[in-house]
Amino acid sequence: MSGRNPAPRRSYGGRSAEERRAERRGRLLAAGLELFGTRGYAATSIERLCATASVSTRNFYEEFSGREELLTALHRDINERAAEALSGAYAEAADAGLAARVERAVRAFITVTASDPRWARIAFVEVIGVSAGLERHRLTWRGRWEDTLLAMTREAVDRGEAVDRDYRLTMIAVIGAVNSLVHHWSARGQDIPLDDVTAELTRLILAVLTQPD
């Protein structure tokens, strides 16, 4: 829950109360990205978040119920952007073969989630083990990713490009492999070319889709 203490609707410095509040929220999200993505969630206090964002503690609680809600908002943001990028890249390659569609989707996912190591840490590390509520949030998103990949797999089966079988467990394994390698790549300072990481994950996915049952 947020917005417990609504700010007055006064104009100040040419900006409305809503505009100033949106700016404060944006600064808090930026502070969360920087601190959770570098120091880590456990090592970041609300006081430090407020100092980094140049807002008061009261301002913080107008937007978020606590650190966990801020982390949840960041995790939701990176997943929404990654899902949009992956689906868009896949759709743009609709007339291409399976290998090209997978490669473009993988590249889009990596680019969004891991080009900035702070976002990669939030996407793959900091949300684990925080609370039962955040774990439900994380698993909900994993379920959405499973559904997305299964829909793409069904399309490949219908086109005669993939073996017709039950891929539910396979997609869980693929998600784990993709997340692990993408985080590894980002955490090591992206010392491996993006093309190499993309190619490796593309080969992995193609292998599980085309291996005889």
> How far is the CA of 59 from the CAs of 16, 24, 28, 47, 70, in angstroms?
16, 8, 9, 11, 13
Options 1.10.10.60, 3.40.30.10, 3.30.420.40, 3.40.640.10; CATH for 15-64 is: 1.10.10.60
Does 1 have pLDDT greater than 50? no
Does 7 have pLDDT greater than 80? no
Name the CATH architecture for the domain at 67-210.
Orthogonal Bundle (1.10)
Does 4 have pLDDT greater than 60? no
Q: What is the pLDDT of residue 162?
A: 93
Does 155 have pLDDT greater than 80? yes
Q: List the domain boundaries for the chain.
A: 15-64, 67-210
Predicted confidence (pLDDT) per residue in 69-118, tens digit:
999 999 999 999 999 999 999 999 999 999 999 999 999 999 999 889 99
Model's pTM, two decimal places? 0.87
For 93, the 3-state DSSP assignment is: coil
Does 28 have pLDDT greater than 80? yes
Predicted confidence (pLDDT) per residue in 120-152, tens digit:
999 999 999 999 999 999 999 999 999 999 999
Q: How far apart are CA 29 and CA 109, in angstroms?
A: 21
Q: What is the pLDDT of residue 12?
A: 56
Q: Which amino acid is at 137?
A: H
Q: What is the pLDDT of residue 34?
A: 98
Match 């982390």 to its residue by tokens. Answer: 71
